Amino acid sequence: MEPSHLALFWAWVICGAIVLYTILDGFDLGVGVLFGTTRDERLRVQMMNTIAPFWDGNETWLVVVGAGLFAAFPMVYAVFLSAFYLPVLLLLIGLIFRGIAFEFRFRARHERVRQAWDLGFSLGATVVAFVQGAAVGAWLRGIPVVAGQYAGGAFGWLHPFTLLTGVGLVLGYALLGAGFLALRNQGELRDWAYRRIRWLAVGVLVVLLLAFTVTFDYSIVGRSGLEARPWGLVFPVVGLLALAAIIAGVHGRRDERPFVLTVVFFFAAFLTLAVMFWPYMIPYSITVADAAAPDASLRFLFYGAIVVLPVVLAYTVGVYWIFRGKLGKVETSADLSALHAPGLERAH
């Protein structure tokens, strides 16, 4: 059965929201991961200043994904929550701790209290990145579904392959974050980020090669759409070339290149998954047509989407336009707690 135009519209909306969330919230989650690798307070404050105008708005696209699935594809929403109940719970806890720590660390009057919030910030970001990567790995392996309901256990998502994809996404987000730090900063933090970009790219490459050569079940390829669409192999090749270009070109110090190439890598990975999964929304049992809500419901949602989504997109574009360019240098370390993100001015 072919999906209706409305079902296809909502499938595209959700796919677009996933891509935007992965890239936009990916870099600030990556900054959170990197935040935990240094104890230099000056660098930590600059990291938070770098993502301060963007991080909460970036999470809006995750809300779009969740709300879109709940309203337009309720079967997918139900199966996803049943299969990934514990990862989703960890994701929510991680997002809560990251958000609270972001605000509260600057209000802490005691060093130990600030250190606790710092741990919450970096650990929250790392947990969120890991469970997202593990969920993608479990999705690749396939979700057991019987009569439209999840047929596995609470820990069915745990597997060596999913653990590796979880670690891979942590490193991938950290690479994205390092590229964003190099793009937006100058001086010490820019140099600090550049020293990590190559090793993060190598780490992503090594973990992905391990995942797909040691623990991947290649019988899955026969169930996916990749055999029928061999042209889709161009996308993983593009992704690998992007990683290779990051590793080879980091000494050139062209600030936009690492971030742009990492975005290309993530986009190529998403297109690879799209080629493998289509037309399934739950691999490899529930298609877009099977999962879609009735057309009457999708039509009602469509009228709301054509109003709300352009506003959200305009807000996102506006924020990035207003806060474009590099941040100004931090001139003094006398009172780093006063350098809360909203007060750091953009260099012209």
- CA geometry: angle 155, 287, 173, nearest 5 deg: 55
d(CA 314, CA 252): 34
pLDDT at 342: 42
- CA geometry: angle 72, 94, 208, nearest 5 deg: 80
Q: How is residue 213 annotated by DSSP?
A: I
pLDDT at 204: 93
Does a cis peptide bond (omega within 30 degrees of 0) precede residue 284?
yes
Instruction: Name residues of the chain where pLDDT drops below 50.
Output: 331-348
pLDDT at 329: 60
332 domain residue, yes or no: no
Tokens of residue 20, six digits: 């935007």
pLDDT at 115: 85
Range of the domain at 315: 8-327+337-343
CATH number of domain containing 74: 1.20.1630.10
242 domain residue, yes or no: yes
322 domain residue, yes or no: yes
156 domain residue, yes or no: yes
183 domain residue, yes or no: yes
pLDDT at 172: 95
pLDDT at 330: 52
What is the four-CA torsion angle of 332, 337, 338, 341, rounded to 10 degrees?
Answer: 100
Bridge-based pairing state of the strands 149-150 and 280-282? unpaired
Burial readout 206-232 (b: 16 or more C-beta within 10 A, e: otherwise): ebbebbbeebbeeebeeebbbeeeeeb
Query: What's the whole-model pTM score?
Result: 0.89
Number of domains within the chain: 1
348 domain residue, yes or no: no
pLDDT at 60: 87
d(CA 47, CA 44): 5
1 domain residue, yes or no: no
Query: Which residues neighbour 9 within 8 Å (Cβ) at sequence distance 6 or greater?
Result: 298, 302
- Amino acid letter, 71: A
2 domain residue, yes or no: no
